[in-house]
Structure formats: C-alpha cells, structure tokens
Structure 1
C-alpha cells in the first residue's frame, strides 16, 4: 500500500480520541506504534540517536503523529516505553564511578564471584571486569545473623566517615550489600541514612530492596549493577516524562520491565536493573498475543533487530519467565561467563546477529558475522551514512532481497 494511502487510512480513524503510544529504543532503530482504540495502528521507525536518545524518541513519535493526523492530546490511553539504555550502559561501561559497601571481611565478593569455572579446561578463562574496581570497595563493621537478628548495628559515625571518603574518591553511586541483609535490611537502611546525611547527592541502592534473595554474589552483582546505572537512567526517565508533559501528552509514561510488566518512571529510575531486557520482553509479549489470536498455545518467537536476534518459547500462550539471567557474557553460550542478575525476566536466547552485524574474515580465514554491529552510526554501507564495513543488510541488498 502506498504511503499516501496508508496515511489517508490512518487519518480516517482519528475522528475520536483514544490512542495508545509505544516506543522501543534499540541499538540500531527506534520504533514507534500508535494504536487507535478501534484497532487501527500506525507504525514508523527512525535511527537511534545514541548521543541523545530522546532526540530519536520524539523524532519517531512526531512521524507517527503526523501520519495519523493527530496531536499529543489525542494519546489518551497509555504511553509505554522500552529501551536498551541499561544494557548499553553496562556493556559499554558508561556508568559513573560506583562503590560497593560490604560487611567487613567480605570486600572481595565481586572478584571471588562464586568460584565457579564455566569452562574447567580453559587455562585462560575470562570473566567481565567488575563494575566496581577494588579501590572503590568499602566495608562496615556490622553483622546480621543468618536468622535476621542484628548482632552488631551500624555505627552512624563510621558510615558517615565512609561517605566522606567516597566523595573524596569521586564516587557518585554506591550499592550497599551487607551479609544476610536479605533476611533483615535494618543495617542497610541505617547505613543509607548515615550516608545520605553526609553526602546528600549520592545515589544509594540497597540489596535488601533490589534483590532480597539468598546467595551473596548474585545479590551483590545485582545491587552493583542497579547502583551503576541509576545515575544514568533516573535523569533520562525524568527528562522523558518532563518532555512528554511539555509537549501536551496527557499521561505519564509507563516503562517496560524485563518480566513484561510496566511501572512508572520513578520506580523504574530507582530500580533500573529491572529494565535490562525491557525491549526483548516486549517482543515476547507480542508473540504471546499472536499465540492467543491464532490459537497456537506453543509458539517460537524470533525477534531480529539491527544489533541482536532473540528467540523465546511461548508455552500455554505465555512466555517463560526466569528468576535469574546474565549480562555481558564473555562467551555467548556459556552460562557463568557474565554478571548474574537475580530479577524476573522473560527467558530467551539472545545472540549478537542482526541486520547491522558486521561480516569479516577471521585469522583462520573463516567468514564470521557479528557480534559487532554497525548500529545506527554510521550504519550499514547501503545507508549512505559513511559506513564502510559490510553487514547482513548490505548482503540482502546485493542479493536483491531488499530494495536499494
């Protein structure tokens, strides 16, 4: 259908209000869906603007609104947003200086990990570098027993002194993960109170709030990742909400979580680790929707974007949800080679092979594709934006599978 016909059809259903808006920011494209309450929808996409994600966000939104012939005030239903902001911040190490506050005697929890070797026979086994360097790990002389009883409460004077040390070391965020805090978070809460009194601008994450689960290392890993990304995500979501309001959108945005649920921007900004798989989770939910529409209780969802490809099994009309997954694996198919994150997430397989994945010949003369991607800047060669490395999309154009 020609664009002018599609635009006319879209405008034909805009006599009444009742639109919902969904925007997904990926590594290559920013996609938007504008859906009328009658069922008609308008879709569009633009390249992701990594220097300022909101630029691409509103460029895509403006395209969809223009095609539908409506203004922001007509979006009276939900506005939902999914983004790869958290994942990219971790993989690219774009977070601010972040500290870990642990119980005295347990400062090495991030470097020791769980002592599991994901490959017993690899003498040069690799793990991702911790998000918190050893120099920014601090300890408190406190103790909570395994049953949750507090054996030694937090000394506010000691915690305040540590907060001043953190400030002197340039720390902007701290994750507090104390022993057995999953049973009783009183000492973590006391430490936060003392730290914020001494350093009011510090972003503080408590393990007892973000991941109140047994097993010290996964809890510490989840806490640190939340602390590391909070100073990036919270201002971004606040700016998004403010700009939507300034433009006249009537409702506050809802943010997609890794488990397929949605929350407000304040909750999402406080717990950004829950957003790590928000984009892929939305794709799995779409597959679950079609599973119900087509009456296919078992379905395999395949979602290929510009940077990655995701596969998810739909059972009984619903995607499987796991309680733990990994981020930033050194080896794509080896569990244990990344950071464990103990939050509910849609269970899927994700590999670095998308439309923008770069093809190359390795040192053995073998053809390889991915995981490096041309992304949106400069993008594949056929985009004409300065790209020089061949990608999957370029191959599709050469083969005639895509129009030039």
Structure 2
C-alpha cells in the first residue's frame, strides 16, 4: 500500500492506495495551527480506520509540506548567524542594488534572516581560481562559535568568496564547529549551493541554516509518531523539483523542500499528459489560500533553477529572498477559496491576498469567521452544496455567507447580495485568467493550445470560468481533484540534482576535466538516492551545463544526455544550436563561458490510475441526483440546474451544460454552451464552444 499526505494552508489532504485490490481512500481535514503535524496524524488515523488497514501495512509514505516556506515568512526559524569573508558580511543586505519598483520611494525589502549584529566577517580569502590568498583564521572562528553558542544561536550559515571552487575553508569551519559547538546546525554554501553569484548563494545558505533545526524537529516528530502507530515502511519527502528524497536529505537540505506541497498537482498533471498523450497542459491549482498555474510541455513540467520566498509584493520579482534550488515553475496567480473580499480605499471590490485560512475560515464554516470569502460567494451562487461539503462531514451555512457579503460588500455598495457574490466570483476568474495569459504569452505560447488541467478544492469550481476568459479549448478535471497534489506525490520518482559552479571559458578547460567533474556530480546524486533506498542499477542520470557567450549576463541551459560530453567541439555545437533556437542567431568570434554544471540522478517513476473505480457508461444507474437553483451570468438569475454524482458517472458518459458535478472533495461547474464527458482515464473533460 502507498500513502500520500499534502499539508496546505487550509486543508491537509490524504490519499491511501491499495495496489493489490485497486481500492483508494481519501481524507481531507482542516490544517492545524500552530502544529500542522496534528492534522497530518489526524488524517492518517482517519484513513487507517476507514480502510481497516493498519499503518504497518503501508509500504511507502510520501509527504509534502509548506512548513519551511511558512517558517521563513513568519520568521519562526532558528536564531541564525552568518559567517562571510571579511568585508563581505553585508552582501545579503546590499543585495543586487536593483529596485523592483523603480519610483516607489517607500520600497519594502525583506529583512535578511541573519540581522546585522549576527553577521560576521572572517579573515580568509580564496581567489576565483580556488587558490588560497589569505589562510583561514581558525582561532577567530573557534572563539566566535563559542560566543554564538553562549548567546543561544542555534544555526550558522557559512558563505565565503569563491568557496564553490575551493571549499576547504568552509569545511574547516564545520570541523571546528563539531569540536567547540557540537549542537550547532552548520550550513556550508559549498554544500548547499556551490555556484557563482555570492548574494544568491549566501541567501540560499541562510535559508537552509534557518530551517535545519525546525525541519529536523518536525520530521523526527512525525517519524516517531508514525513508528508508534506501527509504520515501518519507506518515508519520503517531496522536493520542490518534483522528485522524492529521504528524510535524511530533507533534514540536511531543507531548502530543497520549500515548495514541496504545491508541486504535487503539477506531477499529477504531467502524469496525465504522459498516459493520455496530451503533451501540452496548463495546470491550474486553486486551494483554500492561493491559486497557482504551471505549464506542462512535452509531458513534463518546466523546472526553474531558483525562486523567491517572502516577497514583499506578491507578484513583483526581486521583492523576496532568492533561493537557488531547483523548483517546478509555478506562478501564483490569484486568490483561493478562503481569500477575503473587501472594499479598497477607492470603494472597489478587492479579493485577497488576505485569507481566512482554516481558522476562523470563511463565514459559512460557522467557526467564527465573519468576513466574506470566495467560498462564501460560491456557496451563495449555488455552486456548492451546503450539506455535502467534504462529503457531508462539514455543513456550510448559506445564511452566514449571505450576511457576511451583505455587511461588507452588498450593503455599502447598494447591491443585491447575490450580484455581489457573482462579482467576487467573476473578479477572481478574470484576474486569474489575465495572469495566466501573461505567463503563457511571455513564453511565446498560445493559451488556445493549452487545455486547463484543474484541481484543488476550489479549482473545478472556477476552471470553467477561467478557461472561457482565457480562451482554453478544454478543461480536464481528474478523479479526486481535491487531493490531486497527494495523488501526484505517488507518481514521483526519487531524484537529486547535484550542481557545481565552474566559471571559466571553454578554451580554458579540457574534456578530461569536464568528465571528472560530471562523474563527481553523478556520484553525489547516486549517494543521495542510496539514502532513499534506491538500488544503483535502477538510477538514471542526465546532465546539463549553463553556458553563455563571454561578456553576457544570462545563461542558456544545454542538455547533456547521460551526463556525458564527448568533446569540447560537441559541447560548443550543442550550445550554439540551443542559443539559435532561442534567439534566432549566434555570435561569431566570441568565446563561450561555462557557468554551472548539473547532474540529475533519478530513480524509477511510479504509476497511479484511478479509472478502475469507474465502470463503462452502459453498466450502472444514472448519475443524476437532483436539481438546485444556481446563478448563471447568461440570465443574471438562478436557474434550476441538474446535479450529478461524480462517482456514478461512467466512462464514456456525457452531459450538456449547465450542470453541477459533485464529489466529496470538490465540485465541478459546467456552464452554458459546454459539454462534459468522462474519458477513458476517469477524468471529466469539458469541451468549450
């Protein structure tokens, strides 16, 4: 049996799969604060009771969490100091000296995770060629680490100049720490992110050090609690890159799992693309707190070399702390079900970014929330069934939703509450479609070529409206859309990406040096997968090199099949082919600079199909369960609309919109001038006219 648990901002999702019988069990519980592990264990206990399967029968458990990124945003990590080369301790505050909003005189920037009184310059210096210019002052380091421990500092980030070329001084600091401060968590930039660009390297290493203690405590608590309940299988943590890793690696390199929660849905979309021969998809995830999109091309999600956390301005690049770690490219594009609707200073309706979360939650939860949210609007429009939320485990209050909308929006604006609710719903759809269009067109892609793959608790409710505005030809909603991220976890392979900065021109290096480096990185990746229990003969590797023409400032990533380079001439030709495909030309007479090498070691992928739960269209009773009034913009009124059970729809069955399709964790809205059908993989596919 396999088990996946995804902790989101509002809900914790669980999927339990018995591979022998084909049975599945789904649980969705409110995320618990301040300790999300309580919700995790609550969901596990409910699934074990519902399935009558003990935890001792689970072979694999995969977990994704936003614990790390939340700890950075809320500044709840360990007290952390930074050790940098003397004269460079303020680089994390100087940043790149670029203003992300050029003329904003009140520009906000995130504070470094190590305040100025905890940033120290260390006497040492290594050149860009890796030669020692100034030896490390070991006595200074030993005295400083002793003082820091006495002051209650729990973690230290070490980032020396050019340590990616020669890590000896950073390694020596770690050895000194083991002697004089054995309880200190030490993160070395040469281990966490051995690449050029000092600021990004220092920021990434600080994030890692800041989270090490908290992540280790969290994972160890969960492992102990699971063991006490009989679990003895393999425990994996989802990485931001879409690969699984062992708990050992996650505790050492928590910066690799910062975005582990949201990537699961992208893996679910990519898996669908591969099995259904649908190479182009736009994944759309709308949960309780935020909405995100990601592009699937060629059956695989786009992976970026880094991202930002704790942005001061939600959508402004440069307003957050840079993290150089591989991550599936996701764009936060809007509000979630719990996002609060309110009037701004100009009297206009604004939705988000403030969220009601799981506590107190939307007004309709009757848990103390009084402010209107997207979920309240969807309930008032008739899209949600108040008696069937979470399969009836939670009853929603339409009266509380209407009162909240009346008090905060409809009353002040002199509107009908239902028209105000539609305004919230439409505003959210329009803003998400607009952001998705910009994201696609910036990459030279046509929205009309990308069906919308919708999931998350609120995704299927809004997918039809977003697709219609965006111009997508089709909407695809997988079975169990409300727990698609957990489903994606169970399709992921174990993997690890090892990187190494290598700042020199191609003429200055030899093929043998390149081969030695790639073999060294491959050995790193294989060693990491060994900690996850992956046999060496089942590991595949591929590599890349980030390259540029000398004098340029941006890299082009060149794929290296098998993580091998036959010759420098072949590498140059591969770079120029890639450069020409991007820019339509090459630059003659210019040497090529090698910036970063990477090797990705990957274990075997898993398969997961839920279509066996559905029967063919001619083998069961009708799925129609009744009708209810639903608001549709075409008539600007409520119409009696057929409601169908998601579980009774058979493979091959189709229906005309408007219609509502309900399942335990989410609701599918099919609007006018659309037709929905169940494909051979159990997905509901909505074709738009």
Is the CA contact 1:24–1:83 (under 8 Å) kept in the aligned structure 2? yes
1:42 aligns to 2:20 (yes or no):
no
Alignment of 1:117-266 (within 5 A): 117-266=99-248
Question: Which has the bigger relative contact order, CA under 8 A and spacing at least 6?
Answer: 1
Aligned to 2:383: 401
Is the CA contact 1:381–1:389 (under 8 Å) kept in the aligned structure 2? yes
Aligned to 1:10: none
Unaligned runs of 5+ in 1: 1-18
Structure 2 CA distance, aligned partners of 1:310 and 1:47? 20
Structure 2 CA distance, aligned partners of 1:304 and 1:271? 28
1:308 aligns to 2:283 (yes or no):
no
Structure 1 CA distance, aligned partners of 2:149 and 2:256? 27
Structure 1 CA distance, aligned partners of 2:121 and 2:181? 17
**Higher-Rg member (1/2):** 2
Give CA deviations for 1:11-62 in whole Å, capped at 9, x if unaligned. xxxxxxxx10000011111000001214432111100112222211011112
1:62 aligns to 2:56 (yes or no):
no
Structure 2 CA distance, aligned partners of 1:269 and 1:388? 39
Aligned to 1:6: none
1:275 aligns to 2:257 (yes or no):
yes
TM-score calculated relative to the size of structure 1: 0.93
Aligned to 1:370: 352
Is the CA contact 1:292–1:317 (under 8 Å) kept in the aligned structure 2? yes
Give CA deviations for 1:244-294 in whole Å, capped at 9, x if unaligned. 112111213100000001111111011111111111111110110111222
Query: Aligned-pair distance for 1:239?
Result: 1.3
Structure 1 CA distance, aligned partners of 2:334 and 2:228? 37
Aligned to 1:81: 63
Query: Aligned-pair distance for 1:169?
Result: 3.2
Query: Aligned-pair distance for 1:119?
Result: 2.1
Query: Aligned-pair distance for 1:374?
Result: 1.0
Deviates more, 1:379-388 or 1:150-159: 150-159
Is the CA contact 2:56–2:233 (under 8 Å) kept in the aligned structure 1? no
Structure 2 SS opposite 1:125:
coil
Deviates more, 1:162-171 or 1:47-56: 162-171
Aligned to 2:90: 108
Query: Aligned-pair distance for 1:351?
Result: 3.9
Structure 2 SS opposite 1:340:
strand
- Number of residue pairs the alignment of both structures matches: 385
